[in-house]
Amino acid sequence: MSNTHTSVLIIGGGPIGLALAGDLGWRGINCTLIEKGDGTVGQPKMDMIGIRSMEFCRRWGIVDQVESAGYNRDYPQDCAWVTTLNGYEFGRECFPPMSQEKPPIHSPQKRERCPQNFFDPVLQRFVRSSSSVSLAYNTDLLEFEDQEGGVEAHVRDILTGETRVLRADYLVGCDGGASKVRQQLGIEMVGDAVLTYTTNIIFRCQDLEQLHDKKPGYRFIFIGSEGTWATLVAINGRDQWRFSLIGDGQKRTLTEEEVRASIIRAVGKPFDFEILSILPWVRRQLVARHYRKGRVFIAGDAAHLTSPTGGFGMNTGLLDVVNLSWKLAAMVEGWGGAHLLESYEAEQLPVAVRNVGEATENLRRMLSPRIAELNPSMFDSEDSGAEAARIEYGQRYTEMMRREWFSIGVHLGYVYEGSPIVVLDGTPRPPLETSSYTPTARPGSRAPHAWIGEGRSTLDLFGKGFVLLRFGANPPPANILKDAAASVKMPLQIIDLQGEEVEKLYARRLVLVRPDGQVAWRADALPEDVSTLVDTVRGAIPSEPQEYSFQAVIAEV
């Protein structure tokens, strides 16, 4: 940290801060990331990298590293609901091991199982591969000041106690749920601060599969006569397991003895295991009322907190930083318009509201036996009607849980409706989907995937600047758009594509795709006033002052 000035100062080196630093570095933007920890992950939280996030990893060239990061990719990914591992199995959703899962037709990638203790090091290497990024561990943000023309941050080296001042054009708080940045900005979180108290225990047990008669699985949900009370996750697909003891709205501190007894109850017989860590935490459904004040932004858990049910937390945070990164780069490089940064909150906040709500609904479904009338005979091996009751209950539970397991629409179908830098084309907004996804190149949507050559996706065309796709044998002329973009130094590449599938998918002869891979505009011909188009998508035109209502966002999604 020899430089005291940087373009973007990032606070927090969890997956979101690292991804932002990596993406900015990939764009050649000078930035500094400070993290108060030493870079090691104590207890991994996230373990599922969603399909859109994997598309970003593809863009960054780190897919191979994610795949080889350490998770046992031959381990089956089934989810099953049982009384205990040695008791009854109510039902199961079967998923192949990662090594056998194929990408869906809508993407060149598939989701990946890669817990945070494996993913963070991949991101750290990605960050370190950029010479424009400085990464400082053991460095704590004390306070900051948003001044005219820049931000001044006071930071402390935790190892030496030395304090210093860092200056930046922009500051982004990726400092997690208890975000000091958000607190100093005075931004309120809206929603439900306590869904459940839960205790996560990582334990080691070689060959846990040999202790029971159930087929192996990534996740087991334990249902007792009191309802759903715990889950078990194969955290590395080998010898480490994450047991989550789901509490209620009351805070309780569990002793190691209680934790051990619960794990043995779940397995259904005594066995030897080593507890590696115990982490009590609170499940929340919260979204920040704002994502920005002046030159300071928040992203990831600093901006939204969600129940892990569905695996949306980090994946939503990655959307935040991919959305924000190119906009910050545009400002630093000088081609971003004066209103470009306003679009970050307008685009990403509604996505978070939707995703945290979906996660809470998943939690509600998973816990629903608590409130549903459980038939006590299901747990009684002597009762003659027990088997039929279990089958009936199991089928219902299996059906109900599908929405959590199949959520491609949440990962790919988000849309920046109402964004000031997206030019809508008059087509109606398609309904939001959860378990299905209908690709569309309607402005505001993720530009869809189609194969355009051996192993090459349309998605591989997007990333660094704007791309104008021209379709058909005689595509419409577009040089005046290129000239208009060049006149304000907005990077724009023109790429011609032909092919029945891709032309049908994009549905217009001209489609303008942003650096984050979202469609900004489409039509069959350029508008007469191309300068206004360029100025709109680069945020140079003041948007209508919106009566921005958080409640309206919540009501809409």
Chain residues binding ligand FAD by CB under 6 A are 11-17, 34-37, 45-48, 140-141, 174-176, 180, 200, 281, 300-301, 308, 311-315, 317
- In whole angstroms, the minimum distance from the beta carbon of 407 to ligand FAD comes to 11
Nearer to ligand FAD (CB atom), residue 22 or residue 317? 317
C-alpha torsion angle, residues 59, 61, 62, 65 (rounded to 10): 150
Label residues 386-425 b or e (16+ Cβ within 10 Å = b).
beebbeebbeebbeebebbeebbbbbbbbbbbbbbbbbee
Task: Tell me the residue number closest to ligand FAD, measured at CB.
Answer: 14
- In whole angstroms, the minimum distance from the beta carbon of 35 to ligand FAD comes to 5
- In whole angstroms, the minimum distance from the beta carbon of 96 to ligand FAD comes to 18
Nearer to ligand FAD (CB atom), residue 193 or residue 338? 193
Nearer to ligand FAD (CB atom), residue 40 or residue 253? 40
- In whole angstroms, the minimum distance from the beta carbon of 357 to ligand FAD comes to 15
CA end-to-end span of the chain: 43
What Rg do the C-alpha atoms of the chain give, in angstroms? 25
- In whole angstroms, the minimum distance from the beta carbon of 206 to ligand FAD comes to 23
Q: How far is CA 490 from the centre of its chain?
A: 28
- In whole angstroms, the minimum distance from the beta carbon of 526 to ligand FAD comes to 39
- In whole angstroms, the minimum distance from the beta carbon of 304 to ligand FAD comes to 8
How far, in Å, CA of 254 to CA of 59, rounded?
44
Nearer to ligand FAD (CB atom), residue 23 or residue 47? 47
Question: Nearest CA to 320 among 19, 7, 8?
Answer: 19
Nearer to ligand FAD (CB atom), residue 85 or residue 141? 141
Beta-carbon count within 10 A of 356 CB: 25
How far, in Å, CA of 176 to CA of 178, rounded?
6
Q: Sign of the C-alpha dihedral, residues 409, 515, 316, 539?
A: negative
Tell me if residue 525 falls in helix, strand or coil. Answer: coil
Nearer to ligand FAD (CB atom), residue 296 or residue 502? 296
Nearer to ligand FAD (CB atom), residue 282 or residue 374? 282
How far, in Å, CA of 53 to CA of 321, rounded?
11
Tell me if residue 414 falls in helix, strand or coil. Answer: coil
